[in-house]
Amino acid sequence: MPEYADFFPKLALAVALLLTALAAAPFFERIRLPSPAAFLAVGIAAGLFGVAPTGELPVVTLEQIGAVALFAILFQGGLGTGFSAARAAARPILALGLFGTVVTAGGLALAAHFVLGLEWSVALLVAVALAPTDPAAVYAVLRGRSGSARARTVLEGESGFNDPAGIALMVAVTAAVAGSHASYGHSAFRFGEELAIGSAAGVAGGLILLAALRITRHLEEGVQAVAVLLGAMLLGSVTATLHGSGFLAVYIAGLLLSDAWAREDGTRHAVPEALSAAAEPLLFATLGAAFAPLVGLDNIGYGIFLMVMTVFVVRPLVASVCLIGSDLPARDRALVSWGGLKGAVPLLLAAYPALEQFEHAESVAATVLVATAASLVVQGGTLPLVADRAEERKSPILYPDRVARK
């Protein structure tokens, strides 16, 4: 069976590239760039030199790999943020994660169409892909930083909620611009349906996982963690089967489970953390390698322009509106505004239009890749400085669980 025998050289090459990406991360950190920038750079280099095995993978396989990896990242993201901390900052999190995602997509679409002259269909798809922040990038950059706890919670919570929102929005917009019979009204219904079913399933699934956590308390910690993680994956898959956002369901379940699991075993859980850590280089390197050969000079210009518009115009405006009424000080608001990093989720979204055989899917993917790489360099390279300058304001009233854990 030659197909079976040919698999192992490809597997060896893929693993070697991932190890290279991991090995490059410390070097990138020395020059003040986040580890996701290293993962993406190795993937782009592999794609440009034609040494990546992703060239033979169909788009649907890339999306499937990305979905499983994102389930792991979002579940760990919910666990890491913590339910009590997220509840205390629920208003800005939901405002940025839901309303902010839609408004950001609209603003970028207007800029892409009227300034760059892109067709409305292309402008909308690129804008939706770039609207959400990325959990893997945000968690990687803010991990261990000394900035404001509440600002970090808002950023982490936003990146957990706006990725499912962005994915649901991409499904809706793609159906409208690439589908032969879809309408914008139908797309709006699909967007609401994804979020509604995902939210309900997340709450129900989270409560079931809480009960399972109590029942399996006698199990060895590693076995229990594997069982809980598989339950989260099952929840995401079933929710997606029911046409809901499995990503939102997994993140909400992680949030609901976080404090109870922390009281039982501590705040760190080796299995979800390890799987999430492995998913990050897999997503960045795989998608970077797949999209790099598609990039042309026009995509470079488009991507850099849209990154500049996002960072310096759209994101600050959206953040200022969404943070109205919050008690965040000025430095924390600056951290939230500057912290809208792009990463693997925009890349994953950029591949989605190809599933509908959209004519300009390659251009969408190439433009988003450039904008994502630029965001990781510009925002990722400077966000630690902004985080370190933000005032540390940890209140035992707002963060009772985190104070207790310390």
Low-confidence ranges of the chain (pLDDT < 50): 391-406
Contact present, 165 and 74 (Cβ < 8 Å): no
Q: Is residue 21 part of a domain?
A: no
Question: What tokens does 160 get?
Answer: 């957990």
Is pTM, for the whole model, over 0.85? Answer: yes
Q: Is residue 27 part of a domain?
A: no
Contact present, 300 and 369 (Cβ < 8 Å): no
Distance CA 392, CA 150 (A): 9
Question: What tokens does 391 get?
Answer: 């005032």
Question: What tokens does 337 get?
Answer: 């505004």
Distance CA 128, CA 177 (A): 12
Q: Which domain, by its residues, includes 102?
A: 33-405
Question: What tokens does 182 get?
Answer: 């879809």
Q: Is residue 83 part of a domain?
A: yes
Total tally of structural domains belonging to the chain? 1
How many C-alpha atoms does 304 have within 13 Å on its Cβ side? 6
Widest distance between CA atoms in the chain: 64
Q: Is residue 9 part of a domain?
A: no
CA angle 108, 373, 304 (to 5 degrees): 45
Confidence at residue 183, expressed as pLDDT on a 0 to 100 scale: 62
Confidence at residue 396, expressed as pLDDT on a 0 to 100 scale: 46
**Helices and strands per DSSP (H, E), number in the chain:** 19, 0
Distance CA 261, CA 271 (A): 13
Distance CA 246, CA 215 (A): 24
Confidence at residue 152, expressed as pLDDT on a 0 to 100 scale: 81
CATH of the domain at 314: 1.20.1530.20
Q: Is residue 77 part of a domain?
A: yes
Q: Is residue 219 part of a domain?
A: yes
Q: Is residue 16 part of a domain?
A: no
Contact present, 394 and 330 (Cβ < 8 Å): no
Q: Is residue 311 part of a domain?
A: yes
Q: Which helix (H) or strand (E) holds 85?
A: helix 83-88
